[in-house]
Structure 1
Amino acid sequence: MKLYKIVTVQHINASVEDCWDFFSSPINLQTITLDTINFQIQDYDGKRMYHGQIITYTLKPLFGIKMSWITEITACQENEYFVDIQQYGPYKLWHHKHFFEPTSDGGTKMTDIVHYVLPLGILGRIINRLVVKNKLKNIFDYRYNKIEELFNSKK
């Protein structure tokens, strides 16, 4: 089993509270996700992130193949962090931590740490190298740029 890790850090020109308000709303995940993935929330309770929350959605991450994904929020501390894991979906393991830290300039340092494992053993490693790693990079690059546009392009 090969465990992969993605870390992104972004400085946001908004308070931790404003960042939390945006990122703790599951509906905003659609705003910061590539349109080509066709991300659609299927069900959630309409509440802000909380420990134990279940969110279900569909997406087309590779080759236009529609997939279901069920996420559970396994840890949550308002204005500080939340952790989501894939309970059902394409990965053998998907564990995503989101941290929000105030900065001295009144902004926020947002850190995302994703650990993931693909199924299929050695074949999964090959698929990661050829396809998944680059697809995830594109997804997180888009997210970074969209957040820049939403929060950091205002003067």
Structure 2
Amino acid sequence: MPRIKLLTHIKADKELVFNLSRSIDLHKISVAQTNEEAIAGVTSGLIGPNESVTWKGKHFGVTQKLTTKITEYNYSNNFTDEMVSGAFESFKHQHIFTKEENGTLMTDIFDYRSPLMFLGKIADYLFLKRYMTKLLEERNQIIKEFAESDRWKEVNLD
């Protein structure tokens, strides 16, 4: 099972970074290149414990749907979302937030299993892990940009 682990240092309050990370509206901004939209479940504002969202977007030239659910939630410290249905066989994305002297360390741990067994392993090696890493890095950069400026006021944090 491939694992992607990213560490992002953000010069902002831990609670703000936590809330931006679970913002449906900010997620839409961070994946604009895939035309993702939330079509069911929580479709705007903040997603919370035991809530789900269904995303529709274009990846690799194919329109896909993905439903995830928040399965673990400890306000401002961590939350985990897991795939309920979608193109992967499974995935689990842990979001961990640690207060630092001058801000927050945001840790992403993304474990996934590709579909199609052997072909999925080849896809992981050839392109999928790089693609997913890039998507997560771009998302984290947007969170960082919004948190370290007044842009966070542009998104619904209710």
CA distance in 1, matches of 2:21, 2:56: 19
Secondary structure (helix, strand or coil) at the match of 2:30 reads coil
Match of 1:30 in 2: 28
Question: Structure 1 residues 38 and 47, CA, compared in 2 at 3 Å: closer, same or farther?
Answer: closer
Match of 1:95 in 2: 92
Q: Shift in Å at residue 4 of structure 1? A: 0.4
Q: How does 1:2-151 map to 2 (within 5 A)?
A: 3-33=1-31, 35-45=32-42, 46=44, 48-62=46-60, 64-105=61-102, 107-151=103-147
Secondary structure (helix, strand or coil) at the match of 2:29 reads coil
Q: Is 1:73–1:82's contact at 8 Å kept on the other side of the alignment?
A: yes
Q: Is 1:69–1:89's contact at 8 Å kept on the other side of the alignment?
A: yes
Aligned AA for 1:66? T
What is the aligned-residue identity percentage? Answer: 25
Instruction: Please provide the CA RMSD for this pair.
Output: 1.8
Cα deviation 1:46-97 (Å, max 9, x = unaligned): 56332210111101121x2001111111011111111000100010111000
Aligned AA for 2:72? A
Cα deviation 1:9-41 (Å, max 9, x = unaligned): 0011110111123222222211222x2211111
Q: How many residues align?
A: 149
CA distance in 2, matches of 1:19, 1:141: 15
CA distance in 2, matches of 1:144, 1:80: 17
Normalised by the length of structure 2, the TM-score is 0.85
Secondary structure (helix, strand or coil) at the match of 2:147 reads helix
